Amino acid sequence: MVDGRATWRDRTVTGSRSLWPLWLAAACGFILLCGLGFWQVQRLAAKEAQLAAIAARARAQPIGLAELAARRMKGEDVAYFRVHLTGTYLGEQTKPMIATFGGGPGFELVTPLLAADGLAILVDRGAIPLPFEARWQAREEAALVAVVRPLAGRQGMFDPDNDVAGNRWYWWDLKAMMAATALPEGATLVPLIVRAETPGKDGLPRPAPLASGLRNNHLGYAITWFSLAAALLGVTLVFARSEAGKPRA
């Protein structure tokens, strides 16, 4: 019995010494996976706070264009702020963006609105079916509530180049749109695009609801990383136990 116990102990000690690289690698992997899990938990909290702020802005009373411009000049993040607009659509400056309408081809109309105080802003009025009719290039008075669009400002991998000279637009290039907008002398174009909340007089253009586009998958990611850490620990323990029980030559 004594010799048997000594033999088992010797095998265990020898096995543990031979498995130290495995334990080291497993420990590093476990720490890394747990770190990624805790990082996702932190991002989850930040994303929930961001979504809550967006929801609060969507329920808030709209502000005026002058206040929106002032906040933007101060460097505030004004995405998803609601703004009340009153002024004139400069239809001749409308920029049709390639879009879909009712499952078919269409355009999304981006038109500058000029307020009486000289401030102007680009308004995403919504989508229309083909063709792009002359009436969309006529001036008209407008009073509406719109929401500030957050713009990535980057051309997608499959987006063609915007044809500024031909007035055909494929992606949201705010700087180019502003440069292509001619305003009366003394007018100031606010460097933002807002989306109308309601359709036009006859139901067109038809704006789609402005979703945040923010996905909150961080809880699932955190669970995945913690599960991988637990699996790594379990596999390592099982393997080490099986190796320690093997007789050594």
Most confident of 7-21, 83-97, 205-219, 235-249: 83-97
Residue whose token pair is 């308004």: 123
Query: What Rg value do the Cα atoms of the chain yield, rounded?
Result: 30
Tell me, yes or no, whether 192 and 220 share the same domain.
no
- The beta-strand segments (E) located in the chain are 63-64, 82-89, 95-101, 104-114, 119-129, 140-148, 188-196
Token pair, residue 10, equals: 């010797």
Structural domain includes residue 180: yes
Tell me, yes or no, whether 95 and 178 share the same domain.
yes
What's the confidence (pLDDT) of residue 8? 44
**pLDDT higher than 60, residue 216:** yes
Tell me, yes or no, whether 119 and 185 share the same domain.
yes
What's the confidence (pLDDT) of residue 7? 53
Host H or E run for residue 50: helix 20-59
What's the confidence (pLDDT) of residue 57? 81
Calculate ∠ Cα 97-128-119, nearest 5°.
60
Structural domain includes residue 211: no
**pLDDT higher than 60, residue 13:** no
Structural domain includes residue 57: no
Tell me, yes or no, whether 231 and 187 share the same domain.
no
Structural domain includes residue 127: yes
Where does the pLDDT of residue 6 fall: very low under 50, low under 70, confident under 90, or very high at 90 and above?
Answer: very low
| Structural domain for 12, as ranges | 2-49+216-244
Tell me, yes or no, whether 123 and 187 share the same domain.
yes
List pLDDT tens digits, range 121-148: 999 999 999 988 899 999 999 999 999 9
Residue 98 to residue 77: CA distance in whole angstroms: 28
What's the confidence (pLDDT) of residue 54? 77
**Burial zone of 213 (CB within 10 Å; 0-12 exposed, 13-18 middle, 19+ buried):** exposed
**pLDDT higher than 70, residue 10:** no
Tell me, yes or no, whether 85 and 180 share the same domain.
yes
Is the Cβ–Cβ distance between 243 and 19 less than 8 Å?
Answer: yes
Give the residue from 87, 121, 99, 137 showing the smallest Cα distance to 193.
121
Tell me, yes or no, whether 144 and 90 share the same domain.
yes
Tell me, yes or no, whether 97 and 157 share the same domain.
yes
Tell me, yes or no, whether 187 and 221 share the same domain.
no
Number of domains in the chain: 2
Is the Cβ–Cβ distance between 98 and 170 less than 8 Å?
Answer: yes
List pLDDT tens digits, range 88-104: 999 999 999 999 998 89
Structural domain includes residue 229: yes
Structural domain includes residue 68: no
Structural domain includes residue 25: yes
What's the confidence (pLDDT) of residue 39? 92
| Candidate from 4-13, 26-35, 136-145, 200-209 with smallest mean pLDDT | 4-13
| Candidate from 11-25, 50-64, 125-139, 234-248 with smallest mean pLDDT | 11-25
Tell me, yes or no, whether 189 and 222 share the same domain.
no
Mean pLDDT computed over 66-74: 96
What's the confidence (pLDDT) of residue 196? 96
Mean pLDDT computed over 149-170: 88
Tell me, yes or no, whether 39 and 133 share the same domain.
no
Structural domain includes residue 39: yes
Is the Cβ–Cβ distance between 201 and 148 less than 8 Å?
Answer: no
Please report, rounded to a whole number, the percentage of residues in the chain having pLDDT higher than 70: 88
What's 19's DSSP letter? T
